[in-house]
Structure 1
């Protein structure tokens, strides 16, 4: 192709790229790739021409904008929480559903057993706790346990305890997932018995409004931690095309990413339990607001947002890198 024809064919597009800037990263990437193709052609056939330097200048400008935006707008921290972690959850949604169903099953078993055997409640929760709760109910303050201690001390102790429980759920996955299932079963039965104790005294709805102010984040985190442990166990049992040690390393890496995310969530849950749950007579609207806000966050970030990203075309590579819709289209044959 003659140089004049090459310029005439592409000049309007080059001017558009030069004069009409865009902040869309996918659009910038597409323009950059297109200019690289033109630059490669120009260097091959018109290496000493001004058009080669002209195209190179436009491409350099777009390159700088791409990496300037990457540094300022999509840092590693933001990239992790905005794309990488939600896409990781999307990858394991079926496993998360299994974990949730397993947990709910043993919650029901715990409540059913408590309803048919009075000694089961004391066997699970302990005589001291049951006696204290019954005294509080008789005194007209059924949730007085949340008011007994200093809120700061409660917050620190509860945060430490909940994080430990979550990590036990995760680390138990190294035993082929059995350890994680055991901790999930144990905590699910306790929850079922605990809730039955209040429902049996006609305080079911009130217990939901009080206890689940912090329980929504806390219990959700335990279930997600159990899922992380099962991911670890499944990586050993089902390595796929990887060597078993490489699959274990990948499963552990994915699980640790999930657990890092749960630490601040469990900390917030402990804060709510230590400082907010003690106000058992708070207005109904405020209690519902906190409960629904927590539930919206859990469902939104761990369920619906990952589905949204997946439908938009985002994905994770085998190495765990975020692939944008544009990058994925370039991988297609």
Structure 2
């Protein structure tokens, strides 16, 4: 897009935001939060495609004023990393929270389909999990250690291999959103059906509790992160299908950049899940129940808080600051 067209397309929005910040003409907090995120997207777009333009200076000044007025802080290079995790990602998650809901609904639906299919078709589990996994796990159940398959290999080898695989799944789930979200839906379907049939298999063998207290030590963060990455993919697909006031290409670029931020935010949880699977899950059979359950609650609580609760806290803080200005 030529710079003139870019300015013409967004001029009214920028002037509206400028009036909001400098003249205390504050709008509904939902609109203000959304407008701020759009402004940051426009600034990033201008920095990429018009690096020598005066538009960057204008947007930078406006963004700086908005940040200081809304958050009462100074924007410095030293806190940019912190502000990304503390403020930017939570506001994005709040603004696009409906996609998180969509991802959970889609994933949950296919988990149920996987479990029901396993219940009514004796061959379904082997079709999804493979004969080797099923046979090995059955042998381990007879030996009294249902999750022994997760103890093979070295700690570091398992950690690295598992983490790389989970990163691959997450990135694929996001990037497949370019197919109008259908590709992301496919990834959520595959993983959901696998999880549903997997858990039903352990239930059918009478060792559901043993599987839960072992596998979900790392699975709580791993599965939750996949769903969040799916939400980023659905957002990307929606940016293509529903560009709103933007051109389709501009909407796609904004959706891509926003989705990448959500994707990156899941990486620490993916690394931690890999670490737990490589170094902790293998000892689940000798752990007391209170410890394994405590780890599951802690890990699930951490990631749930960050993506489901903390965004509302940041938003309420924004609303309080807006009202106080």
Shift of 1:312: 2.7
3-state SS of paired residue (2:153) = coil
Is 1:289 matched up with 2:285?
no
Report what 1:235 is aligned to: 239
Report what 1:102 is aligned to: 106
Post-superposition CA distance 1:92-149 (Å, at most 9, x none)? 1111111101101100110100011011110000111100000111111111111111
Report what 1:304 is aligned to: 309
Post-superposition CA distance 1:162-207 (Å, at most 9, x none)? 0000111000000110000000000000000111111111111221
4+ long deviations beyond 2 Å: 68-74, 311-314
In the superposition, relative to structure 1, how do residues 83 and 69 fare at CA in structure 2: closer, same or farther (>3 Å)?
Answer: closer
Report what 1:181 is aligned to: 185
Report what 1:214 is aligned to: 218
Is 1:144 matched up with 2:148?
yes
3-state SS of paired residue (1:70) = coil
**Rounded Cα–Cα distance in structure 1 between residues aligned with 2:253 and 2:170:** 20
How large is the Cα RMSD of the aligned pairs? Answer: 2.5
Q: Could you tell me whether the CA contact under 8 Å between 2:176 and 2:183 is conserved in 1?
A: yes
**Rounded Cα–Cα distance in structure 1 between residues aligned with 2:145 and 2:207:** 11
Shift of 1:70: 2.3
**Rounded Cα–Cα distance in structure 1 between residues aligned with 2:196 and 2:73:** 50
Match of 1:265 among 262, 269, 275: 269
3-state SS of paired residue (1:295) = helix
3-state SS of paired residue (2:282) = coil
**Rounded Cα–Cα distance in structure 1 between residues aligned with 2:311 and 2:186:** 28
Is 1:252 matched up with 2:248?
no
**Rounded Cα–Cα distance in structure 1 between residues aligned with 2:201 and 2:81:** 43
Which of the two has higher C-alpha Rg?
1
Shift of 1:313: 2.9
In the superposition, relative to structure 1, how do residues 242 and 191 fare at CA in structure 2: closer, same or farther (>3 Å)?
Answer: same
Q: Could you tell me whether the CA contact under 8 Å between 2:115 and 2:199 is conserved in 1?
A: yes
Provide the aligned length of Structure 1 versus Structure 2: 260
Is 1:325 matched up with 2:312?
no
**Rounded Cα–Cα distance in structure 2 between residues aligned with 1:289 and 1:123:** 34
**Rounded Cα–Cα distance in structure 1 between residues aligned with 2:132 and 2:305:** 39
Shift of 1:73: 10
